[in-house]
C-alpha cells in the first residue's frame, strides 16, 4: 500500500525523534560546493591569482574559463605555503590529464583534483584530500598544516577579454595528511633504443609517472636489483583500458592505481637506487611528470 507522508518511517516524531536525529547527524557528511574569492589580474599577458581561505578540506577546484582557450592558459600552479605542489604546463595539459583519469573533455571548465579520481571506494579516493582546518604536527612538533594556499594561472597575450572563476568542493576540516604533489622534469636528450634515468622518484611514494611522448616503445622500473614494472606501450594501453583509465595520445603513464585500488603505490624509501629504462623509437627530449604522495608542506616547515 501507499503510505501517507506523515506515515513515512523517516519522519521524526515523538520519543523517537532525538535518537533518530542523532543517528542522522552521525551519518550526514555535508559537502560544500561554492565559489572561491575572485581572481586578480585576469588580463592578457598576466598571471591571474586566486587566494583560497584555509580551514576546510579541499577535494576539487573547478576552474571556469572564458575569453581564452585552454592552450592560452599557459601555466597553472597550486601553491601551498609558497611551495608549488601541483604544476600544469597549460590548460590543455590539465584537460588531457583529466581525460586520462576518466573525465569528459573540458567545455568551459576543467578540474584540479586533490582527490584521486575514479578509485573504487571513498576512503581511497579521499586519501589525498587537502586538509587545512585542524593543526597537525610532525614527530618533532613542527606545524604540518598549511597556512595559505592559492592558484596561479598564466594567460597568453593573445587571449581576448579572459575571465576566470574557481568553484570549490570542500568538506569539514580534518588534519593534513598526504597530498598529491605533481612535479615536472625531463629526460633531455633521449636516443633511439635504451635510455636510463637514475633515481627519479627516489625516497618517494609513487602514485603516477607520466612520460609525455608518442615515441616510447617500452618502460621498465627497477628498485635496487628487482624489476617491479616492465611493459610495452601496447601492454600498458591494454591494462589501463581494462582498468579505470582512458589512455591519451602523447602520454605514456605508469599509474599504480590503474585497477582502481588506492593502496598499490610504490614506496621507494629505503632503496638504494631507482632505475628507469625507457625505450624510444626516435631521438627526442621527453618531459616527465612525477606525481607522488607526500605531506602538504615540507617536513618541519
Q: Which tens digits make up the pLDDT trace of 178-229?
A: 899 999 999 999 999 999 999 999 999 999 999 999 999 999 999 999 999 9
pLDDT above 90 for 285: yes
Region label for 121, one of left (φ > 0), alpha (ψ between -120 and 50) or beta (otherwise) = beta
* Other C-beta atoms lying within 10 Å of the C-beta of residue 122: 11
Three-point CA angle 9, 14, 19, nearest 5° = 70
Distance (Å, rounded) from C-alpha 296 to C-alpha 129? 10
Distance (Å, rounded) from C-alpha 42 to C-alpha 27? 41
Give me the phi and psi of 202, to 5 degrees please: -65, 140
Check if the beta carbon of residue 173 is closer than 8 Å to that of residue 57: yes
pLDDT above 70 for 170: yes
Distance (Å, rounded) from C-alpha 248 to C-alpha 93? 11
* Other C-beta atoms lying within 10 Å of the C-beta of residue 298: 12
DSSP 8-state class, residue 175: B
Distance (Å, rounded) from C-alpha 155 to C-alpha 152? 10
Predicted model pTM: 0.86
Per-chain mean pLDDT for the chain = 89
pLDDT above 70 for 244: yes
pLDDT at 196: 96
Distance (Å, rounded) from C-alpha 189 to C-alpha 300? 36
For the chain, what's the residue count?
Answer: 301
Check if the beta carbon of residue 124 is closer than 8 Å to that of residue 261: yes
Q: Which tens digits make up the pLDDT trace of 93-138?
A: 999 999 999 999 999 999 999 999 999 888 899 989 998 877 766 6
pLDDT above 70 for 26: no
pLDDT at 4: 39
Percent of the chain with pLDDT over 90: 76
Q: Which three cell numbers stand for residue 257?
A: 592505481
Q: Which tens digits make up the pLDDT trace of 202-214?
A: 999 999 999 999 9
Check if the beta carbon of residue 58 is closer than 8 Å to that of residue 50: no
Amino acid at each position: 500500500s501507499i503510505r501517507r507522508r506523515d506515515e513515512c518511517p523517516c519522519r521524526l516524531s515523538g520519543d523517537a525523534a532525538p535518537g533518530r536525529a542523532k543517528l542522522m547527524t552521525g551519518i550526514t557528511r555535508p559537502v560544500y560546493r561554492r565559489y572561491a574569492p575572485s581572481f586578480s589580474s585576469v588580463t592578457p599577458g598576466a598571471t591571474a591569482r586566486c587566494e583560497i581561505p584555509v580551514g576546510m578540506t579541499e577535494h576539487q577546484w573547478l576552474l571556469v574559463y572564458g575569453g581564452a582557450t585552454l592552450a592560452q592558459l599557459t601555466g597553472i600552479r597550486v601553491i601551498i605555503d609558497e611551495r608549488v605542489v601541483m604544476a600544469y604546463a597549460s590548460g590543455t595539459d590539465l584537460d588531457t590529464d583529466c581525460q586520462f583519469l576518466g573525465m569528459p573533455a573540458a567545455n568551459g571548465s576543467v578540474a584540479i583534483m586533490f582527490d584521486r579520481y575514479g578509485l573504487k571506494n571513498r576512503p581511497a579516493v579521499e586519501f589525498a584530500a587537502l586538509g587545512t582546518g585542524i593543526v597537525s604536527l610532525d614527530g618533532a612538533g613542527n606545524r604540518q598544516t598549511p597556512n595559505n594556499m592559492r592558484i596561479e594561472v598564466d594567460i597568453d597575450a593573445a587571449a581576448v577579454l579572459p575571465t576566470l572563476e574557481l568553484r570549490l568542493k570542500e568538506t569539514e576540516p580534518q588534519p593534513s595528511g598526504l597530498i598529491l604533489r605533481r612535479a615536472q622534469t625531463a629526460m633531455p636528450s633521449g636516443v633511439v633504443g635504451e635510455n636510463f634515468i637514475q633515481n627519479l622518484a627516489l625516497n618517494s611514494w609513487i602514485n603516477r609517472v607520466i612520460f609525455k611522448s608518442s615515441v616510447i616503445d617500452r618502460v621498465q622500473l627497477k628498485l635496487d636489483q628487482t624489476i617491479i614494472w616492465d611493459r610495452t606501450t601496447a601492454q600498458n594501453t591494454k591494462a589501463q583500458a581494462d582498468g579505470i583509465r582512458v589512455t591519451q595520445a602523447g602520454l605514456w603513464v605508469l599509474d599504480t592505481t590503474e585497477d582502481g585500488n588506492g593502496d598499490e603505490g610504490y614506496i621507494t624509501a629505503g632503496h638504494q637506487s631507482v632505475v628507469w629504462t625507457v625505450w624510444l623509437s626516435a631521438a627526442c627530449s621527453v618531459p616527465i611528470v612525477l606525481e607522488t604522495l607526500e605531506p602538504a608542506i615540507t617536513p618541519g616547515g
